[in-house]
Structure 1
Amino acid sequence: MQLYGYWRSSAAYRVRIALNLKQLSYDNLPVHLIKNGGEQHSDRYKLLNPAELVPTLIDDGLTLNQSLAIIEYLDEVYPEPSLLPQEPAARALVRALALDIACDIHPLNNLRVLQYLTGPLAINEAQKLQWITHWLSTGFAGLERRLQDTAGQFSVGDEITLADLCLVPQVYNAQRFALDMSAYPTISSVHHHCQQLAAFALAAPEQQPDAQ
């Protein structure tokens, strides 16, 4: 199994957590998103992932992109431990929380968006930080309210789910940009419980071979 990713990529971070939880061995193949104009734009990588994004997973001849699709594939092919509840309503709730983060919070602060803001749109660094913190705080405000109804130790009750695999990388991003987390005690509590587990700690960006 091969995982093409970047140490600071939130999406690759999610997949690393899933692989660790399921105790699956894989080759970690770095794709530097900044060096040489961004290695994700190389002809070689575009053959694997025409979207020019990370992560990309290769397993037994299958090539997959999109972190949530990859994680659900892993969950079906390597079902222990399960990352989605069996009961349909709980399963849908976990997916909704994961999508709140992966589709509505994360993309607005993704590298290519920030590069477009500071490149063609020519905003300055202070304005970029204002953009980042605005969308993080807006997204976290809604997520905090949702988790107040669903969380135990983790995002939905006391079992790790797909929602937690999305939450932890997003909190990492928030901390990186010095977002005040005091307004989000439930998010912070779930993040704390996740960080006590080796599968999450070993997936952290600074633990990756390409970390700089």
Structure 2
Amino acid sequence: MTTAAPLTLYSYWRSTTSYRVRAALNLKGVAYDIVPVDLVAGAQRAESYTELNPGQGVPTLVLADGTVLTQSLAILDYIEATWPDPALLPADPVARARVLAAAHTMALDVHPVNNLRVVTHLRDAYDAGTDGAMDWMRHWMTEGFAALDALVRDDTPFAFGTAPDLADLCIVAQVYNARRWGVDLDPFPNVARIEAACLAHQAIAAAHPDQQPDAS
């Protein structure tokens, strides 16, 4: 008989926000079950899922007592507070602020304007078409990576040291999206180096979209 994990993560395999949370849970060795939510098919708009997550997005984390958490950065904050080892944020206030700045460049500057529903609305409501939508995504990713490449260190395998932190999880997830949409990463050597370090880490590699049960 299989025992259910204490946490249930509602996730979509290609979701960069879900990728971040999967990687954090893996790094901290926290067991969880995945319930796939097919965003392309519109499963996030089903009444049962909307009751769980009124924002109709992923990820959603359900705790053992039934408490529901939404929004990836809020979920990551909960994970860090509950399972502090290994730390995803430095204790030093300045170092912490730098890690958060890099993480937020990906999670707050780039991701929201490239979210599936934003790009779909841009394409359909403003006659951007598929090519226009792709140009939109590439533009904002390129802008974000240019800023990020200058924010992170260039003398460490990960963004700010020898172990992955919150910035790395946000970066590797966004780079997955960038490669999917053909963004040229050659101008951003720090970004490429961080991606390689992340994908060489077993816990992060296991969170990669291609390794998910709903990957297709």
TM-score normalised per structure 1: 0.95
Instruction: Specify the SS of the correspondent of 2:61.
Output: strand
Q: In the TM superposition, what whole-angstrom CA distance separates every residue of 1:131-176 from its partner, at most 9, and x where no partner exists?
A: 1111111111111111246x61111122211001100010000100
Deviation at 1:88, TM superposition (A): 1.2
CA distance in 1, matches of 2:14, 2:99: 24
CA distance in 2, matches of 1:138, 1:98: 15
CA distance in 1, matches of 2:143, 2:103: 16
Structure 1 residues 192-207: aligned runs within 5 Å: 192-207=196-211
Match of 1:182 in 2: 186
Q: Aligned residue pairs: how many?
A: 209
Instruction: Specify the SS of the correspondent of 1:181.
Output: coil
Which stretch shows the higher mean deviation, 58-67 or 100-109?
58-67
**1:45 and 2:57 correspond:** no
CA distance in 2, matches of 1:126, 1:166: 26
- Are the aligned partners of 2:12 and 2:38 in contact in 1 as well (CA < 8 Å)? yes
CA distance in 1, matches of 2:83, 2:141: 33
CA distance in 1, matches of 2:39, 2:105: 24
Structure 1 residues 48-59: aligned runs within 5 Å: 48-59=52-63
Deviation at 1:27, TM superposition (A): 0.8
Matched residues, percent identical? Answer: 44
Instruction: Specify the SS of the correspondent of 1:183.
Output: coil
Match of 2:4 in 1: none
Residue identity matched to 1:14: R
Higher helix share: 1
- Are the aligned partners of 2:123 and 2:132 in contact in 1 as well (CA < 8 Å)? no
Residue identity matched to 1:25: A
Match of 1:6 in 2: 12
CA distance in 2, matches of 1:25, 1:39: 24
Match of 2:149 in 1: 144
Q: In the TM superposition, what whole-angstrom CA distance separates every residue of 1:41-90 from its partner, at most 9, and x where no partner exists?
A: 11111111111110000113221111111111111111111111111111
CA distance in 2, matches of 1:197, 1:208: 16
Instruction: Specify the SS of the correspondent of 1:23.
Output: coil
Which stretch shows the higher mean deviation, 194-203 or 124-133?
124-133
Instruction: Specify the SS of the correspondent of 2:62.
Output: strand
Match of 1:115 in 2: 120
Match of 1:29 in 2: 35
Instruction: Specify the SS of the correspondent of 2:14.
Output: coil
TM-score normalised per structure 2: 0.93
Structure 1 residues 25-174: aligned runs within 5 Å: 25-35=31-41, 38-61=42-65, 62-148=67-153, 152-174=156-178
Match of 1:17 in 2: 23
CA distance in 2, matches of 1:5, 1:136: 22
Structure 2, gaps ≥5 residues long: 1-6
Structure 1, gaps ≥5 residues long: none
Residue identity matched to 1:9: S
CA distance in 2, matches of 1:10, 1:159: 20
Residue identity matched to 2:29: Q
CA distance in 2, matches of 1:148, 1:26: 32
